[in-house]
Structure formats: C-alpha cells, structure tokens
Amino acid sequence: MDSRPLVSIIINNYNYAEFLDEAIASALQQSYTNIELILVDDGSTDDSRQIIASYGDLLIPVFQENGGQASAFNAGFAASQGDIICLLDSDDVFLSHKIAEIIAVFNNNTDLGWCFHSVSLVDKRTGNFLGVSEEEGSRECDFREKMKQGKLSFLAPPTSGLCFRRSLLQEILPMTETLRRGADRYLVAIAPALSKGFYLDRKLTIQGIHQNNGNTLQEGKKFARRRAYKAMTVAYFMRLKLPEFYKITDRIFARGLGIYINLILKTGQQHPEEKELITKYLSLSNILTKIKIYSMAFYQYRPWKKDNSLVQYEKKIKQLKC
C-alpha cells in the first residue's frame, strides 16, 4: 500500500444542518491532507443542501431521496475512490490528527481490513463530557475463529469510530437497504468475521449527544424496540451472507429477540415487522437450534436482570433535559 494513500471520509447527513458545518470543517482540516470528502445527503428537508452547495469543489456531494443509513453508506462508497474509508456522522467531529493516526495503523499492519477507535461523548448543548465508548488497550484483533464458535465480547464504537480498507468494504457493500437504521452495526458485525483488524485506544472523534440523536438516545419502549429490530435484522442479513458464522448470528439474534420478548411482556403488543423477521430467521434453523436461540434470549434478558445499557442511556437523557 502507498504510504500516503487517498482517504475517503464519508459523511452521512439527514436534517442535521445545525451541526453540518462543524463536521465538514473537522474533515477538511485534517493534518493528513490526501483526503476526499464525500457528503451524502439522504433527502434532508432543512437547509442541509444549501450548506453543502456552499463548499463548492471542497467536497463531493451525493444527493438522494431518503433511503436510510444503508442506502447512504452504499451511495457514499460508490462515489468514493480512497484506499481507506472513514465514516463520519454529520453531528460528530473528527480531531485534526485522526486520519494521520489511522493511516499509521494501516501502514504498520498491511494485512488489516479495519481499524476501530475510541470515541468521546459530549453534550452538544452544554459541551459537557458524558463518557467514552472504548475498549481497553490498543491491539491487533483477529476474531474470525471465535466468531465461528459463537464467541465474541467486543464493544464496537459508533459510526464515527469506524475505518476500513477499501478491499474489505468491497466484500461487504453494497449492503441490503432494508437496514434503514443499524447499518453501522452490520458493518461492525461482519467486518471482523472477514478480516483481521486493529482496535486503537485513542479518542479521535467527538460524538455529539443531543435530543435529536435517532440512534444514540431514545427513551423506554421506543428505544427497546429499535434495539431489538436492529439486532435481529443485522443477524438475519449476516446469516444470509455468511452462513458459516451461524453461531455468532444466533447470539446476535437472540439478544434482539430477548429485548423484544421483554417488550411484549411489558406492553402486550406485537408488531408485524418483528414477527415476520423472527419467522424468517428461525426458518433457517432446525428445532434444536430454535430452542437454543429462545433459551439464550430468555437468559440474556431475564426479568430479574437490569438492562445496564438502557439505564446508562436514560441517565444521559436526563442530563440533556436538565
């Protein structure tokens, strides 16, 4: 690989005009200069497109009707030329040295397909630091055999902490556009199944937390349903693409199924989309595997267990509302 490869930064935007200038500036002001900026506007109805147009040839605009996160990723990747691809949500900010550090990792480890890194969570309204999305310690990671065995414990960062070698993304994209939400979770599930990677314990992105975050902060039942549907959808499409990894997709699916069963018990409501998805996934399994999936679902989200991730998100919501 060229020691100074072209890096494509892909920003996916939908109605985040108020944050867009800051995200664009953080991409354009990188200390590593061999970059191209692809900005996919996914059918915004606010002032986003006027803002994008004001940058002229400093970026490559992609305007499309609203199709969701997977559609935007597909469009951005198709428009890109870089050997390295870094994703940036339009309400987040890269630190100025991020791309330089990512390139150093890929240059020093030529067989890696992905590099994920820590992300700082900051309240957009107050500027207060809310926490970090991180694993402990920088390290090379090869999860492929563990994933085939259904074993993996890895906290992947959000979208803006994800970087890939183009050759790996060519094996994954285009992805199904059914993943209107959660396409980033599909990427972090499937990339480690296909390639070695690197976890960089460096906080190179600031994730902006605010009341409009569709995928970061949601309260109660609505949030639980989204989490369940994302997990089950990711598992289903990963199972179709990589059937040999059925043990890990069964676990991912069981996690989502557990959340959904818990939600049904609390509300008494079922939903046609989830019922259809459950039927489709379970049709791929024999009776013993179905029993195992339901057992894992009940164990992971048993009634007496606190869902700590939901508790933490609800705490952050309260902070934002203060």
pTM for this prediction:
0.87
User: Domains of the chain by range and CATH?
Assistant: 7-209 (3.90.550.10), 220-321 (no CATH)
Sequence-ordered alpha helix ranges (H) in the chain: 17-28, 48-53, 69-79, 98-108, 144-148, 166-172, 183-194, 220-241, 246-267, 272-282, 287-300, 308-321
β-strand 114-123 against 139-141: which pairing, if any? unpaired
**CA quadruple 226, 75, 92, 112: dihedral sign:** positive
pLDDT in tens, the chain (322 residues): 677 999 999 999 999 999 999 999 999 999 999 999 999 999 999 999 999 999 999 999 999 999 999 999 999 999 999 999 999 999 999 999 999 999 999 999 999 999 999 998 887 776 666 666 666 789 999 999 999 999 877 778 899 999 999 999 999 999 999 888 889 999 999 999 999 999 999 999 998 876 665 445 445 677 888 889 999 999 999 999 999 999 999 999 999 999 999 888 888 888 899 999 999 999 999 999 999 999 999 887 665 555 444 444 444 434 443 3
Which 3-state string (H, E, C) describes 212-228?
A: CCCCCCCCHHHHHHHHH
Non-local (6+) Cβ contacts of 55 within 8 A are 24
β-strand 139-141 against 60-64: which pairing, if any? unpaired
Angle at 49 between CA 48 and CA 54, to 5 degrees: 100
